[in-house]
A and B are shown apart, each in its own frame.
Chain A
């Protein structure tokens, strides 16, 4: 039998085989186990293998971090990643040669290497590998980095005006260029279909890059292959600010804040169905009030959203305090659920407390740094230093989840049926009482004509009781009340037409419920009383008659005897 297992006894390839399967967070942890772990993980062969395996297969399991990049401009950068499974922040070193991080997708970032803006690199933060790319056109900024699935290739889209920065607002048409890691070249492709004060974030869906153009507000698409820009014919939901596009589960969403009196009153999510010919941002959901209150603290004037693989959102009010996460969960191919949570971040404040010098950039950056501000958004320069971005990723649906969802749907259906059935059973009794109580309360008993009606019934009742000895009178009374009941329908329709002249509301519904209860009902009760009374009288009469007969017979017999 083998004794206690020792890691160092394992052959190297076996160590690799195990380490390659670890999620990033555990791998980072393993670095601090011992020297041999550290050496293995730092070895270029391992890093290469890990990087290609992770990116090649796009394993969600391995990429278990939400990335929040902090690029400190004075010193060299440091990235912080949020680890949802442990609710903690992990610092990630950024290679010292990197300066401004422009955009990113997952752990892949585009960054500048030096002071001169020409030399960009693409860096995988986990393997720390650097891939130099050729300089892009001057005065441009990177709009999107697209990390292609199932391969280690990536594409970069940059846009910029050919004119100097000076009067950016008057700049002529903005052109775009695409870098493909396969060819290793920048290629000019396309021109924006108009002038926009700024471009929002870009998301990649079904071969198209969706970009929000602001001022004027348009949803733009860019075909990376043909280089064609086009405007999607859809109006933005009004009046929304702090917009962010995100893709989840192959669907396009928009996150934004609804403004009321200069502050953001609600945060909502809208969805655009791309398959329909008539396009419209359909409201999807709002952040629940209690969550929003926690998120906005006092007044929310601005927030940022980040997502990763469509998950999440993240936003925050003022510098470094609250984050809200909206986690989209696909419960079935047709249904999406969103779970909102809020949390407060202390790590960032505690460790990187010098707010003024911190510039936060991000993975899948939605607002880029300097270059973008200077080229297209001079108005937003004032926000420098308080822009933060974070990247989060979502456990997207797997086949297992689909299966579960289908099962849940079935269970839902069955329980719905059961509930309907049982409520129908219950409705046999409960609602009758409820209806009556409701009916009683619906009537304003102080209306003069109602009081008259009730008095009339009361007088009728008293008359009936007083006249119980007078059978003929009672007969007439019962005939009268019967005719009253008989004419109830006619009375109902007549009064229904003329209710305005005497009543504050129309009690005379076509079904005659009111008239039955307040008119026919009492009259019928009255007639029943009369009938009962008549029966008593009849019995009485019979007894009297029998007595008289007996008495008569006795008298006859007595006469005979005499």
Chain B
């Protein structure tokens, strides 16, 4: 979705992010620098617009997920300094995390991997908000967790927090 959204203008350095499923995202340096991981990587290897670096990403970051991250980084690289843009940016953030559960957790994972602290904040908070009013069973289902307590332990837990199992 973000592929080629930014036309390469002469002289500006570009980076190509390549996902495991073969999609390529071309982003400029300002966008890439939002990610601590990419920033470190690029400061070591360097890059140029004529021959952009291609950075392969692990399989856990799909093109759909990366699209979200790139969208966030581009928006924040461009919109941070604009006057009056803060509100629009906040709204953008809010809408960005309106995702289904798997997608949200994948984006959280990608944000952690690429080291985008503010995106990580955002998605972690969204996950926290999502499970805030759930019961134990619902949270287990949400996170794909299977109880590994023994029956007695489970019983003790239930008697300690009867409210959580309602």
Q: Is the CB of A34 within 8 A of B144?
A: no
Size class of the A contact interface (CB-based, 8 Å): 35 or more
State the Cβ distance, B84 to closest chain A Cβ, in Å.
17
State the Cβ distance, B101 to closest chain A Cβ, in Å.
7
Q: Is the CB of B147 within 8 A of A33?
A: yes
In chain A, positions 482-512 with a C-beta closer than 8 Å to chain B are none
Asked whether A2 is an interface residue with its Cβ less than 8 Å from the other chain, the reply is yes
Query: With A2-B102, A21-B128, A28-B161 known to touch, is A13 a contact of B112 (CB < 8 Å)?
Result: yes
Chain A 6-47, CB-CB to B under 8 Å as 1, else 0, gives 111011011001111111001011111111110000000000
Q: Is the CB of A91 within 8 A of B109?
A: no
From the candidates A21, A33, A83, name the one contacting B143 in the complex (CB within 8 A).
Answer: A33
State the Cβ distance, B40 to closest chain A Cβ, in Å.
17
Query: For A442, what are the chain B residues with a Cβ–Cβ distance below 8 Å?
Result: none
Query: For B62, what are the chain A residues with a Cβ–Cβ distance below 8 Å?
Result: 1-2
Asked whether A86 is an interface residue with its Cβ less than 8 Å from the other chain, the reply is yes
Query: For B109, what are the chain A residues with a Cβ–Cβ distance below 8 Å?
Result: 10, 14
Q: Is the CB of A34 within 8 A of B146?
A: yes
State the Cβ distance, B68 to closest chain A Cβ, in Å.
13
Q: Is the CB of A14 within 8 A of B145?
A: no
Asked whether B127 is an interface residue with its Cβ less than 8 Å from the other chain, the reply is yes
In chain A, positions 66-95 with a C-beta closer than 8 Å to chain B are 83, 85-86, 88-91
The answer for the CA separation of A551 and B158 in the assembled complex, in Å, is 123
Asked whether B35 is an interface residue with its Cβ less than 8 Å from the other chain, the reply is no
Asked whether A5 is an interface residue with its Cβ less than 8 Å from the other chain, the reply is yes
Q: Is the CB of A32 within 8 A of B112?
A: no
Nearest A residue to B140 by beta-carbon distance? A33
The answer for the CA separation of A511 and B117 in the assembled complex, in Å, is 80
State the Cβ distance, A169 to closest chain B Cβ, in Å.
46
Query: For A37, what are the chain B residues with a Cβ–Cβ distance below 8 Å?
Result: 145
Nearest A residue to B63 by beta-carbon distance? A1
Chain A 36-60, CB-CB to B under 8 Å as 1, else 0, gives 1100000000000000000000000
The answer for the CA separation of A487 and B135 in the assembled complex, in Å, is 88
The answer for the CA separation of A445 and B101 in the assembled complex, in Å, is 82
Query: For B102, what are the chain A residues with a Cβ–Cβ distance below 8 Å?
Result: 2, 4-5
Q: How many A-B pairs fall under 8 Å by CB?
A: 100
Chain B 125-156, CB-CB to A under 8 Å as 1, else 0, gives 10110011111100110011111110000000
Asked whether B41 is an interface residue with its Cβ less than 8 Å from the other chain, the reply is no
Q: Is the CB of B124 within 8 A of A34?
A: no
Asked whether B60 is an interface residue with its Cβ less than 8 Å from the other chain, the reply is yes
Nearest A residue to B117 by beta-carbon distance? A17
Q: Is the CB of A7 within 8 A of B161?
A: no
Q: Is the CB of B128 within 8 A of A7?
A: no
Q: Is the CB of B120 within 8 A of A86?
A: no
Q: Is the CB of A30 within 8 A of B139?
A: yes
State the Cβ distance, A324 to closest chain B Cβ, in Å.
22
The answer for the CA separation of A403 and B112 in the assembled complex, in Å, is 34
Report the count of interface residues on B (CB-CB < 8 A).
38
Q: Is the CB of B120 within 8 A of A17?
A: yes
Query: With A4-B144, A22-B131 known to touch, is A32 a contact of B163 (CB < 8 Å)?
Result: no
State the Cβ distance, A76 to closest chain B Cβ, in Å.
15
Nearest B residue to A7 by beta-carbon distance? B143
Query: For A29, what are the chain B residues with a Cβ–Cβ distance below 8 Å?
Result: 135-136, 139, 161, 164
Q: Is the CB of B127 within 8 A of A34?
A: no
Q: Is the CB of B139 within 8 A of A33?
A: yes
Asked whether B108 is an interface residue with its Cβ less than 8 Å from the other chain, the reply is yes
Query: For B112, what are the chain A residues with a Cβ–Cβ distance below 8 Å?
Result: 11, 13-14, 17
Q: Is the CB of A34 within 8 A of B140?
A: yes
Q: Is the CB of A8 within 8 A of B145?
A: yes
State the Cβ distance, A16 to closest chain B Cβ, in Å.
9
Q: Is the CB of B148 within 8 A of A34?
A: yes
State the Cβ distance, B155 to closest chain A Cβ, in Å.
11
Q: Is the CB of B128 within 8 A of A18?
A: yes
Asked whether B93 is an interface residue with its Cβ less than 8 Å from the other chain, the reply is no
Query: For A13, what are the chain B residues with a Cβ–Cβ distance below 8 Å?
Result: 112
Query: For A36, what are the chain B residues with a Cβ–Cβ distance below 8 Å?
Result: 145, 148
Query: With A5-B143, A33-B136, A34-B147 known to touch, is A21 a contact of B125 (CB < 8 Å)?
Result: yes
Q: Is the CB of B157 within 8 A of A23?
A: no
Query: For B101, what are the chain A residues with a Cβ–Cβ distance below 8 Å?
Result: 5
Q: Is the CB of B145 within 8 A of A34?
A: yes
The answer for the CA separation of A18 and B105 in the assembled complex, in Å, is 10
State the Cβ distance, A13 to closest chain B Cβ, in Å.
7
Query: For A7, what are the chain B residues with a Cβ–Cβ distance below 8 Å?
Result: 143-145
Query: With A33-B136, A34-B140 known to touch, is A18 a contact of B145 (CB < 8 Å)?
Result: no
Asked whether B106 is an interface residue with its Cβ less than 8 Å from the other chain, the reply is yes
Query: For B136, what are the chain A residues with a Cβ–Cβ distance below 8 Å?
Result: 29, 32-33
Q: Is the CB of B125 within 8 A of A32?
A: no
State the Cβ distance, B59 to closest chain A Cβ, in Å.
9
From the candidates B120, B124, B139, B160, name the one contacting A91 in the complex (CB within 8 A).
Answer: B160
Q: Is the CB of B106 within 8 A of A2?
A: yes
Query: For B64, what are the chain A residues with a Cβ–Cβ distance below 8 Å?
Result: 1
Query: For A35, what are the chain B residues with a Cβ–Cβ distance below 8 Å?
Result: 148-149
Q: Is the CB of A89 within 8 A of B148?
A: no
Query: For A32, what are the chain B residues with a Cβ–Cβ distance below 8 Å?
Result: 136, 149, 157-158, 160-161, 164
The answer for the CA separation of A91 and B164 in the assembled complex, in Å, is 12
Query: With A13-B112, A32-B164 known to touch, is A85 a contact of B133 (CB < 8 Å)?
Result: yes
Nearest A residue to B137 by beta-carbon distance? A33
The answer for the CA separation of A89 and B105 in the assembled complex, in Å, is 31
Query: For A22, what are the chain B residues with a Cβ–Cβ distance below 8 Å?
Result: 128, 131-132
In chain B, positions 85-114 with a C-beta closer than 8 Å to chain A are 101-102, 105-106, 108-109, 112
The answer for the CA separation of A85 and B105 in the assembled complex, in Å, is 26
Q: Is the CB of A17 within 8 A of B124?
A: yes
The answer for the CA separation of A37 and B139 in the assembled complex, in Å, is 11
The answer for the CA separation of A18 and B120 in the assembled complex, in Å, is 9
Q: Is the CB of B163 within 8 A of A86?
A: yes
User: Known pairs A23-B132, A33-B140. 7 more at Cβ < 8 A?
Assistant: A2-B106, A26-B128, A26-B134, A29-B139, A34-B145, A34-B149, A83-B163
24 pairs from A and B in contact (CB 8 Å cutoff):
A5-B143, A5-B144, A6-B143, A6-B144, A7-B143, A14-B108, A17-B108, A17-B121, A23-B128, A26-B133, A28-B161, A29-B136, A29-B161, A31-B157, A32-B136, A33-B140, A36-B148, A37-B145, A83-B163, A86-B133, A88-B163, A88-B166, A89-B163, A91-B161
In the A-B complex, the 10 residue pairs with the smallest Cβ-Cβ separation, listed nearest first, are A21-B128, A7-B143, A88-B163, A32-B157, A29-B164, A5-B105, A17-B124, A6-B144, A14-B112, A18-B124
Identify the B interface with A (CB < 8 A).
Answer: 60, 62, 64, 101-102, 105-106, 108-109, 112, 120-121, 124-125, 127-128, 131-136, 139-140, 143-149, 157-158, 160-161, 163-164, 166
